[in-house]
Structure 1
Amino acid sequence: MVETLLAIGIVASVFVGFNIGGSSTGIAWGPPVGAGIVTKTTAAALMTVFVFLGGWTVGRNVMDTLSGGIVTTELSLSAGVAILFFIGFGILIANVFGVPVPTSMTTVGAIAGLGLATDTLNYATVSRIVSWWVVTPIIGFWIGLVIGRYVYPVVNRRVDIKKSPGPLLRLDRDGGLPTPALGPNTTWTELVSTVVVLVIGCYMAFSAGASNVPNAAAPLVSGVGGLPDDTAIGIATVAIGVGGFTIARRTMESVGGELSDIPLLAALFVMTTASTITTVLSYFGIPISLVMGTVMTIVGIGWGRATRPVTVQEAVSRSTGDNEIVTGAITVSGDEEEQSAPIGEAEPEAVLTAGDLFNPRAVLKYVSMWIIGPSVSTLLAYAFFVFVPGVA
C-alpha cells in the first residue's frame, strides 16, 4: 500500500515539476533567447543544472518550512500526495487563465488547509509567510522604481547589448595548439555583455530552483515511507528540466510580451532584482513566488522611468508644473533613448509616445492569481481533509 501511494506521489510530483519547468524556464531565459544570445536548448540545459543547485542548497530551507513548519505535526505521506494533487490543480487553473502559476503560494495554501482541517496550523509561521507575500511586491516595486528613475536611463546610454552575426567564439588553429578566439564579428563589449547575460540567467535559474524545487519535492519526504530529501530533489529537478526542454520552448518565445515590451537591458535589471529577492527569502525558509518579484519590478521600473519628468519635491507636493507623468519610454532604445532628459525636465516627444510601459489589465490578472491561487488551494484542501480525515 505504501509503495503504491509513493508511486502515485512520484507521478504527481513529476507533473508539478514538469509544469514548473515550463513556466520558470520561460521567465528566466525568455529575454536572452528572444535577443538571440542563447538557444532554447542551451537555455533549458543551463536551467536544469542551476535549478538543481538552487534546490540542493538554498531550497532545503524552504523544504523544511513546507514539510514541518506550516503545521505542528509531520505531514503523512498520504497527506503529502493529496497536497501534490492540489498543487497540480492550481497549476491547471493558472494555465487556463494564461498566467504563471504562483506555485509556492498554492503549496502553502494547500498545507494550510490541512492544518485548519486538523487543528494543527502553525499560525505564527503562516503569518510570517503571508506578511512577506505582502511586503515582497512592495520591495520589488520600489527597487524597480529607483532603477527606472535613476539607473536604467544612465546605463542604457552607455551599454548596448547586441548579437552580431556569426559565432561568438571560434578556435584559432594557426598555432600548434587550438586556442579560443573572438568570432569574426565579435567585439570585446559583446563578449562581456553576453557573459553577463548568461550569468544573470543562471542566477535566476538558481533562484527558481531554490523556491520551486521544494514545491514538488517536500510533499514526498513526509511521513513513513517517504523519500529521502536528496532523491525527492533529484526527481523534482529532472521533471523541471523535462518541462524546460519541452513546453517551455513556447513560453520562452512569449514571456514578457503581455506585461511590457521591455528591452534586454531592462529585463536583466528585472531578473537580477527578482532573483535576489527570491533567493534571500528562500534562504530564510520563506516560500515565495519568483513571478511576484518579477512582475512588480517590471511595474516599478516603468513607473520610475515615467516619473523622470518631475522632481521628488514636485511629486511630494503634487505640483508638477508643465511636466506630465507619462507611462511610456522604457521600450525606446538606441539614439532615441540617448535623448532622455535630466530628471525634472520634460521628455522628448519620441520618448513620450513610445507606448505603455506595462499592461495594467495583465498586472491585475497576475495579482489576482496571487490571491485566488492560495485561497482556492486552502479552501479545497480544507474541505478535502475535513470530509476525508483518514488521509491526514
Structure 2
Amino acid sequence: MSTTQTNKFEIIKASTSKINEVDFENLSFGSVFTDHLLECDYTNGQWQKPVIKPYAPFLLDPSVRVFHYGQAIFEGMKAYKDDDEALWLFRPDENYKRFNNSAVRMAMPEVPEEVFIEGLNQLLQLDEAWVKKGKGNTLYIRPFMIATGTGVIASPSNDYKFMIILSPAKSYYSGEVKVLIAEHYSRAANGGIGAAKAAGNYGAQFYPTSLANKEGFQQVIWTDDATHTKLEEAGTMNVFFRINDTLLTAPVSERILDGITRKSLIDIAEKEGIDVQIRPVLVSELVEASKNGTLKEIFGAGTAAVVNPIVGFSYQDVYYELPKTEDSMALRLKDMLTNIQHKLAEDTFGWTVKV
C-alpha cells in the first residue's frame, strides 16, 4: 500500500487488486465495487482534505443523524471507455448541480467542485482498468453524502461524510416489465423532497412496489399525490408515453426528479424531428389511447437502465397490453444516446467529457 500527497488530495493505493476475481460478463448490478473510494469529511464548518483510499467498511457512532433523521443524498452517474481505451463521463456538470440542489433541500452543505469533479477524475484514473470498453459496459458511479454528527436531537447535523464508490455494470433491468398505476400510494408531494435524490424517497417506494410485485408487476407508475390522475414517474425512473408518433412526458416539479437521461432523450428526440410534448399526462388519457389503439409505447428512462421498455400496465384491476412495434421509438432513442455515451457517434450536444 502506497500513499501519495498532493495539494488537494491524499491518495492511498491498495496493495492488491480484486479485479481478477470479477466475472465482468455476469455482473449483478451494484454488487461489485472497485479497489478504491473517495472520502471527504465536513467538520467545524468546512470541508477537509479528500482522501482516495482502498474500498473498505467504516465505523459510525450509533447516534449519527443519518440513522435517526435521514439526512442522506446520492447521485447516479456512469463512466464509459471508447474503442481507443479513452475514458469519458456523460454530463457530469448536471449530476454535480443536482447533487448540490439535493444537499440544499436536505439542509446539508454543498460539496465543492474540486472535491466532486476533480476527486471523481482522480478516482477514475486510479481504477480505470475496471471500465471495460464495448457498448453496454459501463462503470456505475455513486456519489453520496450522509450526516455523521452524533446525538439524537432532532436538528441538522454539524458533520457530514461525502463519498464516491464505483461499480462495474451492464444492464440494470432484464426481462419484460409490467407496471401497476398507483391509485393510493404516492412517491412525493408538493412541498416535499421528490425533486431531491434523497435516500428516503427510495425507501418509501419499497413497500408499495413490493405489493405490486406480489400481483405480478415489476414496477409502479406513480401518480400525483392530490388526485392520482396525473402520471409522473415509473419506479425509480422518469417515464415517457408514445401516442401515435408524439412523445409525452410530465414536466419536472417539486414531485418529479429532473432526470439527466430524461432531458437528454428529449433533446435527441427534438433534434430528430419527433413531436415532444412536456405536459401533464392523465391516466384517463393513457387508458383511452390504449383502448383506441393510439398508445404505441411506454418506457422508463434513467441512468442505470438508460431506457426500459414497458410491455403493459394495470389500472383499476384492468390490464392493458401494449402492441408489439417494429419501429420502437424507445429503442431507437436508447441506441442514439448510448452511441453518444460510448463515442460511437458524434456528440453534437457537447455532453461527453474526457477524464
Shared topology, TM-score over 0.5?
Answer: no
Instruction: Please report the TM-score for the alignment, with normalisation by the length of structure 2.
Output: 0.23
| Higher relative contact order, structure no. (Cα contacts within 8 Å, ≥ 6 residues apart) | 1
Q: Which has more helix, going by share of residues?
A: 1
Q: Which has more strand, going by share of residues?
A: 2
Q: Rg: which structure is higher?
A: 1
Instruction: Please report the TM-score for the alignment, with normalisation by the length of structure 1.
Output: 0.22
